[in-house]
Structure 1
Amino acid sequence: MPIPPEVTGEEIDPDVRQELMSLPKGLADDVARNLVMVAQLIDEEPEKAYGYSRVALRLASRVAAVREAAGFAAYATQKYSEALAEFRAARRMSGGVELWPVMADCERGLGRPERALAMAGEPEVQKLDKAGQVEMRLVAAGARRDMGQLDAAIVTLQSPELASGAVHPWTARLRYAYADALLAAGREREAREWFAKALEADKDGATDASDRLAEMDGVEFVDAFDESDDIDESPAGEASEDAGAESDVDDEGHRDADKG
């Protein structure tokens, strides 16, 4: 797959670059450039990112960072079985636990929420950092919902991290997931409160909390200009009282995505 000439591979994370040092320099550079393309495309064009990840995998399948990148690219394209296999390989090579939550979420994607829940109770969870533990909680709550256990999902999300007023990178998604679970359980007033709290913490637009709030408030986007209004089919000289009345409409309104 072609790679733009401005992509040199030097853009890669220093830790990944260190892993690639085990390869011959030319090969390491090729792998690095493909990994840069994965990182650049995975959010907006995941299928293209997946293609670059497969090239990197063919070139350096014994590098943990490459297996991890291939896993995330497969995950982004909902190839959950493939993603899980790559994450397991990366974990065997690195010995870390960072991928545990996303591995559990792959189990959900494969229609095995009970396995995801089992993973949430494994000792590996205690070795995760705070962000990883929150992510695991989100996955576990999602598994509960997959199984139709809404009340249990709500309880799973109730935690010191949810109650805290401090804002962390994961705060908006945690609050959003809680609001969404409350809404699914019919607790609309509480759900609206937590969507608002999610929006307050969501500085990067990681969720569509603003849209959810607008929907709950019955607000919709309307076109400020309708081309049909530009065509006056009334006889020349006729008074336009009716048209004036019709144009007297309320133009208030505003209507992403967790991704969780």
Structure 2
Amino acid sequence: MSLPKTLAEDVARNLVMVARLIDEDPEKAYAYSRIALRLASRVAAVREAAGFAAYATQKYAEALAEFRAARRMTGSVELWPVMADCERGLGRPERAMAMAGEPEVQKLDKAGQVEMRLVAAGARRDMGQIDAAIVTLQSPELASSSVQPWTPRLRYAYADALLEAGREDEAREWFGKALEADKDGSTDASDRLAELDGVEFVDVLDDDDEADAADESEDQTAPRAEDGPVDGPDKA
């Protein structure tokens, strides 16, 4: 709203492309975000989009700078968890843990608090504190039978931490619970379960393609009756 109409439309088009591409082609999304940033760096939504695009391409220092800028502009704390995760990406898990203890966390909504818990558990694992990571994930949200948008990822993270701790039976149970809640396939819980059970998937289509290629090769090299002898021309 603060931009001239034509400029606002140009910025909006670039932000739309960021949203469309950020999952399937993060590098392209990042390129569009840089255009939007060049056009309207004083707009908080642009700084936030640029931050997520940088985050998706693992440019954590750049992402953190953009998130901080957006937070200064809006005063909102909703980016706090992803800012903490950027600290992890930069190899500073202790800073992420410090952020997990700041008053800003109490201002987050339930989804944000769960996200912060996931980040804190990840930071514990980064520091080799696997048992502490498991305890961090143990929460009312984990134990709840009500499925929320964060449920699959929370259960998956718990299962993964249990597996790292050598608690395989419990890990299998929680990967199963993650799979039950994961209606959109946001995790690879099914693959992890199969791996634990020693199930190996075979791509039937690939096998068929290889068989067809072998048959075609034999057709090209095998002698045919109408071709006559294959030991060279008659010398008579």
- TM-score, length basis structure 1: 0.80
Are 1:93 and 2:73 counterparts?
yes
Per-residue CA distance 1:46-86 (angstroms, 9 max, x = gap): 00000000000000000000000000000000000000000
Tell me whether 36-45 or 221-230 shows the greater mean CA deviation. 221-230
2:226 aligned residue: none
CA distance in 1, matches of 2:183, 2:87: 30
2:2 aligned residue: 22
The correspondence of residues 176-215 of structure 1 with structure 2, limited to 5 A, is: 176-215=156-195
CA distance in 1, matches of 2:137, 2:149: 16
1:71 aligned residue: 51
Task: Note closer, same or farther for the CA distance 1:223–1:30 as it changes in structure 2 (3 Å cut).
Answer: closer
Aligned identity (percent) is 88
Per-residue CA distance 1:92-149 (angstroms, 9 max, x = gap): 0000000000000000000000000000000000000000000000000000000000
2:15 aligned residue: 35
How many residues were matched structurally? Answer: 212
- Offset, 1:184: 0.3
CA distance in 1, matches of 2:140, 2:64: 30
Per-residue CA distance 1:174-205 (angstroms, 9 max, x = gap): 00000000000000000000000000000111
Q: Which has the higher helix share?
A: 2
Per-residue CA distance 1:10-47 (angstroms, 9 max, x = gap): xxxxxxxxxxx110000000000000000000001000
CA distance in 1, matches of 2:190, 2:200: 12
CA distance in 2, matches of 1:228, 1:23: 61
Runs of 4+ in structure 1 off by over 2 angstroms are 223-231
CA distance in 2, matches of 1:132, 1:223: 39
Structure 2: where are the runs of 5+ without partners? 219-236
Which residue identity is paired with 2:26? Answer: P
Q: Secondary structure of 1:169's match?
A: coil
CA distance in 2, matches of 1:222, 1:75: 34
Are 1:49 and 2:29 counterparts?
yes
Are 1:147 and 2:116 counterparts?
no
1:106 aligned residue: 86
- Offset, 1:222: 1.8
Counterpart pick for 2:112 among 99, 109, 132: 132
CA distance in 2, matches of 1:79, 1:185: 30
Q: Secondary structure of 1:43's match?
A: coil
- Offset, 1:228: 4.6
Are 1:83 and 2:56 counterparts?
no
Are 1:123 and 2:93 counterparts?
no
CA distance in 2, matches of 1:75, 1:155: 27
Q: For the pair shown, which has the larger CA radius of gyration, 1 or 2? A: 2
Greater relative CO (CA pairs within 8 A, separation 6+): 1
1:62 aligned residue: 42
CA distance in 2, matches of 1:160, 1:114: 25
Structure 1: where are the runs of 5+ without partners? 1-20, 234-260
